[in-house]
């Protein structure tokens, strides 16, 4: 865990509510536990996505229950289903409308690789168009698999150096 | 009226138009001359009471002439009778009159046949592609169109690439072999498996 940032907290009764941590760790902790998904439900994987947010599996235990149907308000796009070429640029457009920082989960075989649709009509994986952080196998994946993918994305977010990266981007833009 | 009485009346009204008749498992199919399909459809709708058009589909007999075939599935709600009308469309002049004004459901079915097979339905109120996007250059259900597709580009609208078949396509192939030979789990594109090859593999 040399690369990851771990929040260090000290909440003593005597000193009052004082917490020591790194800014990156605090930001990452907040971001990863409050992921607002953009549900890009395109096929049967979307049914499992709905099941994951229902009571039996309850994605809100991981802080990602606020399904936003507006890309402006979301920060993780869950591409759930077969991306046809006709839909592909619409998915890309919605992705472009999401504000930074943003992440992408390719849920299921079709979104990851085109799945069983080796055909003229289907994009062979959404990573041809947008960067994917987590791929989830399955056709369709069980809701547990989506929750596992979400937890892996949370772990990945915890390793990011948000401030350093933002400063680098700012310097490069100048 | 029964199905036989209906076909007899069509035969009596259009003796020159009907080129063939087939009956299989109580389903009647009539082959119609292409230039008469419109008047036969009008007769079926107005006189015989076929008030429901179930489907309009198209078939590609690649390598034959005429190449295409358009199939109309008619149904009479009153008499509970099915009737299938078939007509041919040549490759050089792939046009056929639309029946969308007789049965509104033909609108989308004819758009699908236009999109997938490239048959133009003259007189159609809104003949656009229905599954692929406007500007896509091919008709994917034609037999000479490869399953993996062809590259195309329409900036801002859509693009297509050739799909990797990676041992596929996983489609049934005409051969004399067993099910495992006809429907292999994997094979190289272009290779036709034989019974001997299947048996020699572990």
Question: What would the 3-class secondary structure string for B74-120 be?
Answer: EEECCCCEEEEEEEEECCCCCEEECCCCCCCCHHHHHHHHHHHHCCE
To the question of pTM greater than 0.90 for the whole model, the response is: no
- Of the partner residues A86, A88, A120, the one whose CB lies closest to the CB of residue B163: A120
Domain with residue A49: its CATH number is 3.40.50.12280
Query: Is B159 a domain residue?
Result: no
- Compute the radius of gyration of chain B from its Cα atoms: 21
- The closest of B167, B171, B174, B180 to B197, measured between CA atoms, is B180
> Average pLDDT, whole number, for chain B?
84
pLDDT at A109: 92
Q: Does B38 have pLDDT greater than 50? A: yes
Query: Is A89 a domain residue?
Result: yes
Query: Is A68 a domain residue?
Result: yes
Query: Is B40 a domain residue?
Result: yes
Number of domains in chain B: 1
**Residues in chain B within 8 Å Cβ distance of A88:** 158-159
Query: Is B74 a domain residue?
Result: yes
Q: Does A36 have pLDDT greater than 70? A: yes
Task: Give residue B151's Cα distance to chain centre.
Answer: 25
Query: Is B137 a domain residue?
Result: no
How many contacts does A have with B, using Cβ atoms within 8 A? 50
> Residue with structure tokens 């990452």?
A28
How does pLDDT run across B47-91, given as a tens digit for each residue? 888 999 999 999 998 888 888 999 999 999 988 999 999 999 998
Determine which of A82, A93, A120 to mutate to test the interface with B (most B C-beta atoms within 10 Å).
A120
Determine which of B160, B187, B188 to mutate to test the interface with A (most A C-beta atoms within 10 Å).
B160
Determine which of A85, A90, A128 to mutate to test the interface with B (most B C-beta atoms within 10 Å).
A85
- In percent, how much of chain A has pLDDT > 90? 59
Contact A32, A158 (CB under 8 A): yes
User: Which residue of chain A comes nearest to B160, CA vs CA?
Assistant: A85
CB atoms within 10 A of CB A164: 10
Strands A134-136, B18-24: parallel, antiparallel or unpaired by DSSP? unpaired
pLDDT at B165: 73
Query: Is A74 a domain residue?
Result: yes
The better pLDDT of the pair B186, B41 is held by: B41
Burial code (b: 16+ CB inside 10 Å, e: under 16) for A51-90 equals bbbeeebebeebbbeebeeebeebbbbbbbbbbbbbbbbe
Domain with residue B75: its CATH number is 3.30.460.80
Query: Is A13 a domain residue?
Result: no
Query: Is A4 a domain residue?
Result: no
Angstroms from B192 CA to nearest CA on chain A: 19
Query: Is B151 a domain residue?
Result: no
Angstroms from B104 CA to nearest CA on chain A: 26
> Residue with structure tokens 């390719």?
A106
Q: Does A164 have pLDDT greater than 60? A: yes
Query: Is A105 a domain residue?
Result: yes
pLDDT at A25: 87
pLDDT at A174: 80
Burial of A141 (0-12, 13-18, 19+ CB in 10 A): buried
Query: Is B15 a domain residue?
Result: yes
Q: Report ipTM for this prediction.
A: 0.72
The better pLDDT of the pair A22, A73 is held by: A73
Contact B189, A118 (CB under 8 A): no
Q: Do B148 and A89 touch (CB under 8 A)?
A: no
- Of the partner residues A85, A86, A124, the one whose CB lies closest to the CB of residue B164: A124
- Of the partner residues A118, A124, A128, the one whose CB lies closest to the CB of residue B168: A118
Inter-helix orientation angle B3-13/B37-46, to 10°: 130
Work out the pLDDT band at A1, boundaries 50, 70, 90: very low
Query: Is A168 a domain residue?
Result: no
Number of domains in chain A: 1
Distance CA A138, CA A146 (A): 10
Query: Is A92 a domain residue?
Result: yes
Q: Do B163 and A122 touch (CB under 8 A)?
A: yes
How does pLDDT run across B149-190, given as a tens digit for each residue? 888 888 888 888 888 776 555 566 666 667 766 666 555 555
- Its domain, for residue B37, covers 3-132
- The closest of A131, A150, A164 to A31, measured between CA atoms, is A150
Q: Do A118 and B169 touch (CB under 8 A)?
A: yes
pLDDT at B183: 64
Inter-helix orientation angle A23-32/A162-173, to 10°: 100
How does pLDDT run across A94-117, given as a tens digit for each residue? 999 999 889 999 999 999 988 888
- Its domain, for residue A124, covers 36-157
């Amino acid at each position: 865990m040399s690369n990851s940032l771990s929040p260090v907290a000290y909440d003593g009764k005597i000193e009052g509510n004082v917490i020591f941590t790194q800014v990156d760790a605090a930001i990452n902790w907040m971001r990863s536990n409050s992921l607002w998904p953009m549900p890009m439900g395109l096929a049967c994987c979307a049914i499992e996505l709905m099941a994951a947010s229902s009571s039996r599996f309850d994605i809100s235990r991981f802080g990602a229950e606020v399904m936003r149907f507006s890309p402006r308000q979301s920060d993780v796009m869950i591409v759930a289903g077969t991306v046809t070429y006709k839909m592909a640029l619409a998915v890309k457009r919605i992705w472009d409308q999401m504000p930074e920082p943003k992440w992408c989960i390719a849920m299921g075989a079709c979104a990851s690789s085109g799945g069983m649709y080796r055909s003229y009509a289907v994009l062979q994986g959404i990573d041809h168009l947008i960067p994917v952080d987590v791929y989830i196998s399955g056709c369709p994946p069980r809701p547990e698999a989506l929750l596992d993918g979400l937890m892996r994305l949370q772990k990945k977010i915890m390793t990011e150096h948000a401030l350093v990266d933002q400063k680098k981007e700012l310097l490069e833009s100048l | 009226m029964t199905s036989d009485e209906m076909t007899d009346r069509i035969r009596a009204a259009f003796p020159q138009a009907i080129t063939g008749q087939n009956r299989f498992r109580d389903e009647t199919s009539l082959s119609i001359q292409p230039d008469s399909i419109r008047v036969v459809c009008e007769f079926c709708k107005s006189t015989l009471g076929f008030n429901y058009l179930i489907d309009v589909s198209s078939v590609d007999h690649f390598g034959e002439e005429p190449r295409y075939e358009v199939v109309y599935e008619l149904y009479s709600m009153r008499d509970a009778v099915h009737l299938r009308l078939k007509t041919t469309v040549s490759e050089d002049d792939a046009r056929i009159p639309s029946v969308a004004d007789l049965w509104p459901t033909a609108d989308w079915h004819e758009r699908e046949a236009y999109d997938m097979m490239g048959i133009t339905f003259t007189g159609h109120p809104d003949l656009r592609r229905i599954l692929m996007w406007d500007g896509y250059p091919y008709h994917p259900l034609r037999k000479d169109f490869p399953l993996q597709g062809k590259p195309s580009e329409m900036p801002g609208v859509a693009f297509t690439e050739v799909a990797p078949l990676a041992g596929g396509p996983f489609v049934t192939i005409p051969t004399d072999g067993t099910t495992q030979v006809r429907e292999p789990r994997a094979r190289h594109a272009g290779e036709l498996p034989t019974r001997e090859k299947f048996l020699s593999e572990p």
